[in-house]
Amino acid sequence: MASAPGGDPVLAACKDKLKHFRLKELKDVLYKIGLSKHGKKQELVDKIVAILSDQQDQASKIDGLPNRLMVGKETVVKIVEDTFRKMREPANAVSASGNQNELGYSVMPMKNPDDSAQLDIKVRCPCGNSMATGSMIQCDHPRCSVWQHIDCVIIPEKTADTAPQELPSSFYCEMCRVSRADPFWVTINHPLLPVSVAPSNIMADGSYTVQYIEKTFPLSRANREMLQKAEYDIQVWCILLDDKVPFRMHWPLHSDMQINGIPVRVVSRQATQPLGANGRDDGLMLTQFLKEGPNKIVLSRSDSRAFCLGVRIAKRRSLEEVLNLVPKEQDGEKFDDALSRVRRCVGGGTEADNADSDSDIEVVADSVSVNLRCPMTGSRIKVAGRFKPCVHMGCFDLEAFVELNQRSRKV
């Protein structure tokens, strides 16, 4: 399909629209195409233009582009046009930040499910079907990039109108979510791949039915031997599919479990209390209940929400190892980046900085005070820590934070 990029009127129209896009629109478009949203504004524009120009060869050379695109050029054109139209809508112009509705697109429209070109897509979905059918969504973790069925992993918001389904701005599969839920454990393998835990049905009196899920998984001799070592454990975990906090475990209300016929307490909280201490649940350690060969777990619960459950073998990290995970000072934020972040906080900054920033922070401050006392311990900060996505300037004491997190667990 040879085409002269300069002479294509559709391309020219799209290019013109791209010029008007802010970072938000560019990221939305890339997200819907299923590509990485990282990069400078111009790089994001270049990525989209490369796809629209049929420059597949060039496109795949640009960092973050897969060799084969998941959507056709026509779909990309439509996404650009719709995003532009949406941006121009008066309602949207008023609320420049906040609850903008995402457009409901098929992230990966399948023209022909038998098309052999789709065979190299990695599909792993808690429904158990590994075929790419219907609309798909991809995990944002670069080393995972697994595809899942949107209908299986995204819970549509219950709204009265028939607005198109809203897709999250970032998406992680349940395996990546659980791997990041607890820095004190490193996932080694998954004897039971994640499975959907369907919501309970509502009964005439308004209560929910008790539902059971039964799963059998094998434990190999090698894994059994690995579990003899003190630092390894095997755990069954559960997450709430549409949890607002993506990286935490979360068990259904009234959870009870039987492991090889033995009743085991899943969580230490009350059956009706939504979450454990510190607003999170833990995985259930299974090592003492399992044997080599097939093992059976049964979960009963009574909860109207959809969850996902799996079994993983994990290795314990020491406090020292966890502290070592925190990026070293020289690997952290570059001085220039820090400077421009602080400038954005204070409201100044250069023209060029502001052109690319669609930041919500519009307050201009004359002076800013930064507290050197840790908000958790009340003493002076030794190593100042900050979460990576945070734009504010306040800090906490890093070691105190990690230690407190370790001490506050029930194990």
Pair type for strands 396-397 and 284-285: unpaired
> What is the Cα–Cα distance from 178 to 141, expressed in whole angstroms?
12
Q: How far is the CB of 172 from Zn ion (least distance, A)?
A: 6
| Contact predicate 376/404, CB 8 Å | yes
Which member of 35, 69, 139, 238 binds Zn ion (CB under 5 A)?
A: 139
144 interacts with Zn ion by CB under 5 A: yes
Ordered alpha helix ranges (H), 159-284: 174-179, 221-226
| Contact predicate 285/361, CB 8 Å | no
Q: Between residues 149 and 248, which has the closer beta carbon with respect to Zn ion?
A: 149
Residue 4, CB-side half-sphere exposure with 13 Å CA sphere: 3
Q: How far is the CB of 127 from Zn ion (least distance, A)?
A: 3
SS3 state of residue 213: strand
Which member of 70, 107, 121, 176 binds Zn ion (CB under 5 A)?
A: 176
SS3 state of residue 229: coil
> What is the Cα–Cα distance from 401 to 385, expressed in whole angstroms?
9
Q: Which stretch binds Zn ion (CB under 5 A): 60-68, 152-160, 183-191, 285-293?
A: 152-160
Q: Which stretch binds Zn ion (CB under 5 A): 51-59, 139-147, 160-168, 314-322?
A: 139-147
| Residue 234 CB burial class (10 angstroms; 0-12, 13-18, ≥19) | buried
Q: How far is the CB of 240 from Zn ion (least distance, A)?
A: 17
Q: How far is the CB of 129 from Zn ion (least distance, A)?
A: 5
181 interacts with Zn ion by CB under 5 A: no
| Contact predicate 299/263, CB 8 Å | no
Q: Between residues 127 and 338, which has the closer beta carbon with respect to Zn ion?
A: 127
Angle, helices 23-33/73-88, rounded to nearest 10 degrees: 150
Which member of 32, 37, 47, 149 binds Zn ion (CB under 5 A)?
A: 149
Q: Between residues 335 and 387, which has the closer beta carbon with respect to Zn ion?
A: 387
Q: How far is the CB of 175 from Zn ion (least distance, A)?
A: 5
Q: Which stretch binds Zn ion (CB under 5 A): 11-19, 69-77, 108-116, 167-175?
A: 167-175
Q: Between residues 35 and 152, which has the closer beta carbon with respect to Zn ion?
A: 152
Which member of 245, 325, 384, 390 binds Zn ion (CB under 5 A)?
A: 390
User: Measured between alpha carbons, how far is residue 35 from residues 4, 59, 108, 279 in Å?
Assistant: 24, 11, 11, 33
Q: How far is the CB of 12 from Zn ion (least distance, A)?
A: 38
Q: How far is the CB of 140 from Zn ion (least distance, A)?
A: 8
Q: Give the CA-trace dihedral at 283, 289, 293, 295, to 10 degrees.
A: -60
178 interacts with Zn ion by CB under 5 A: no
Which member of 15, 141, 180, 269 binds Zn ion (CB under 5 A)?
A: 141
SS3 state of residue 397: strand
Q: Between residues 196 and 302, which has the closer beta carbon with respect to Zn ion?
A: 196
Q: How far is the CB of 385 from Zn ion (least distance, A)?
A: 10
Ordered alpha helix ranges (H), 276-394: 319-325, 335-346, 351-356
Q: Between residues 152 and 313, which has the closer beta carbon with respect to Zn ion?
A: 152
Instruction: Give the H or E element holding residue 406.
Output: helix 398-407
402 interacts with Zn ion by CB under 5 A: no
> Using CB under 5 A as the criterion, what x/- string covers residues 98-137 for binding Zn ion?
---------------------------x-x----------
Q: How far is the CB of 239 from Zn ion (least distance, A)?
A: 12
Q: Give the CA-trace dihedral at 23, 29, 33, 39, to 10 degrees.
A: -10
Which member of 51, 121, 173, 238 binds Zn ion (CB under 5 A)?
A: 173
Ordered alpha helix ranges (H), 89-231: 90-94, 150-153, 174-179, 221-226
Q: Between residues 274 and 385, which has the closer beta carbon with respect to Zn ion?
A: 385
The footprint of Zn ion (CB under 5 A) covers 125, 127, 139, 141, 144, 149, 152, 173, 176, 387, 390
